[in-house]
Amino acid sequence: MQSLFKQQKDKIANIVQFTNNNKNKFELGSTNNYKSFKFFSYNRAIDNANLNKIKNSIKSRGQIMPVLITKDFAVIDGQHRVIALQELELLVHYVICNSYIPLDVEEVNNVGKKWDIRARVNNLAEHGNLNFVELKKMYEKWGDIFSEGTINDAFCKTNSFSSTLIRNKTYLIDKNIGNEVLNNAKIMREIVPKATQNKFVRALKKVMLFNSNFDINTLRYKAENKKLNVYNNESEIKDEIIEVYNYRMRLDNRIE
């Protein structure tokens, strides 16, 4: 009994010590003034399925985890909880982190639910990374035709998968090659409806990068006379593009 009592006493002592050491770093509070909360534009997107799960959990057990916010009520972690509590018309219990820095949002999302690529692009653009400021402009320019993942890959300076480079913050944009690749894919869409798919765009980009003599009008003309198949494998699509392009082509004008 004494051992158990001592354990409880030590636990309480640790809590008190934590509170004293961090009294200027954290503050607790509750409010139903939902409009006071602000959301970062670069935070991860709202997941409706996850939101419904949180609402059901709150209905059953109440709010278990507080919302982490800045002293200006910008939500670092817990935007789904804020929305759920607002829709349920319940108090929002929160913790103010007075020592917050902008990178804390990224850190919280990295250790929690996986951030999607668009949220990472928004985050890096918001913090002044010019590669991602320009990439967001390309979303506006090409977003009606191509997916964001396809745009990321098309404008990537290398042939690497853009998602990995974005996560590692090593993505470099090449607007010249990106615009040329997507323009060419748009031209090919007239003959090959699947030309806007990511696997086709990636294959087309590789052909263009490794063949300085590549001409999109030649490919388009050849594809009108010889069917260009879009396979499930990027490498097979690349081989198909080369085969169609080289169809009845003089040796010195062929591509590899």
Question: In the chain, what are the domain boundaries?
Answer: 2-113, 119-253
**Taking the CA atoms of the chain, what radius of gyration do you get in angstroms?**
26
pLDDT confidence of residue 63: 93
Q: Is the pLDDT of residue 128 over 90?
A: no
**CATH number of the domain at 2-113, out of 3.90.226.10, 3.40.640.10, 3.90.1530.10, 3.40.50.970?**
3.90.1530.10
Instruction: Give, to the nearest 10 degrees, the angle between helix 198-210 and helix 148-155.
Output: 10
How many of the other CB atoms lie within 10 Å of CB of 167? 14
Model confidence at 230, pLDDT cuts 50, 70, 90, reads confident
- Least confident piece of the model among 12-21, 23-32, 132-141, 165-174: 12-21
DSSP 238: H
The SS3 assignment for 243 reads helix
Residue 71 CB partners (closer than 8 Å, separation 6+) = 96, 97, 98, 100
pTM equals 0.64
Per the CB < 8 A criterion, the answer to whether 178 and 157 are in contact is no
